[in-house]
C-alpha cells in the first residue's frame, strides 16, 4: 500500500472542502468562507464608539432579569422558529416549526436531538442558544427583577424599623445612665 505524498493540508480538496484523505483543505476553510461577509459587521459592533452595542447588551441583560421565564420562552419559541426558517428547505429532519422549537429547547441543556443544523444560519442560531441558553435556563425560576426589587425594599424597610427601635432603646438607656449619674440629695 503506497503512502500518500505530501502534507495532509496540501491535499487537493473537492467542492465540499474535504480532501481525498478526509481532511479539510485550507482553500475550502470547511465552510468558514461563508462567514467572511459577517466580519465587518462583527468588528463594527465590537469597535462602535456610539455605545449601541453596549446598550444592546445592557438591554438584553435587563430583559432576561425582568422576567426570566418570559425570556426563556421567547428564546425557545423565537429561536426555534428562526431555526426552522433557516433549515426547512435544506434539512429534511427539520420539517415543522415544532422540530426547530424542540431542537432549540434541547440546546438549552443537554443538546440531545436527532436534528443537527446544516445551514450557516442554523449553525449561528444553535451556537448562540448553546452559548447563552444554559445561563438563561438557570435563571428561569429566579424571581423577576420587579419582585426582587420589592423584596429588597421590604428588607430595607424592616432594617430601618429595627434601627429605629434600637435608637429608641439606646436613648432610653442613655436617660437611665444620666439619671443614675446625677448626684442624690
What does the pLDDT read at residue 13? 42
105: pLDDT confidence band, cut at 50, 70 and 90?
very high
Domain boundaries, the chain: 55-142, 143-177
The yes-or-no verdict on residue 35 having pLDDT over 60 is yes
Reported pTM: 0.56
Provide mean pLDDT across the span 87-99. Answer: 94
What does the pLDDT read at residue 153? 84
Provide mean pLDDT across the span 164-178. Answer: 91
CATH of 55-142, one of 3.40.190.290, 3.40.140.10, 3.40.50.2000, 1.10.287.70: 1.10.287.70
Provide mean pLDDT across the span 24-28. Answer: 45
Determine if residue 135 is left, alpha or beta; phi over 0 gives left, psi from -120 to 50 gives alpha, anything else beta.
alpha
Determine if residue 102 is left, alpha or beta; phi over 0 gives left, psi from -120 to 50 gives alpha, anything else beta.
alpha
Amino acid at each position: 500500500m503506497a503512502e500518500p505524498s505530501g502534507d495532509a493540508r496540501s491535499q487537493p480538496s473537492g467542492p465540499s472542502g474535504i480532501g481525498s484523505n478526509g481532511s479539510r483543505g485550507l482553500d475550502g476553510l470547511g465552510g468558514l468562507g461563508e462567514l467572511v461577509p459577517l466580519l465587518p459587521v462583527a468588528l463594527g459592533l465590537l469597535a462602535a464608539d456610539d455605545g449601541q452595542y453596549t446598550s444592546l447588551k445592557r438591554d438584553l441583560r435587563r430583559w432576561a432579569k425582568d422576567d426570566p421565564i418570559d425570556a426563556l420562552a421567547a428564546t425557545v419559541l423565537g429561536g426555534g422558529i428562526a431555526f426552522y426558517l433557516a433549515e426547512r428547505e435544506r434539512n429534511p429532519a427539520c420539517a415543522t416549526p415544532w422540530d426547530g422549537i424542540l431542537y432549540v429547547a434541547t440546546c438549552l441543556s443537554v443538546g440531545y436531538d436527532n436534528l443537527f443544523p446544516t445551514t450557516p444560519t442554523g449553525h449561528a442560531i444553535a451556537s448562540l442558544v448553546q452559548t447563552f441558553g444554559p445561563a438563561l435556563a438557570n435563571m428561569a425560576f429566579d424571581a423577576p427583577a420587579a419582585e426582587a426589587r420589592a423584596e429588597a425594599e421590604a428588607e430595607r424597610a424592616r432594617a430601618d424599623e429595627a434601627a429605629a427601635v434600637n435608637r429608641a432603646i439606646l436613648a432610653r438607656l442613655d436617660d437611665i445612665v444620666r439619671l443614675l449619674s446625677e448626684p442624690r440629695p
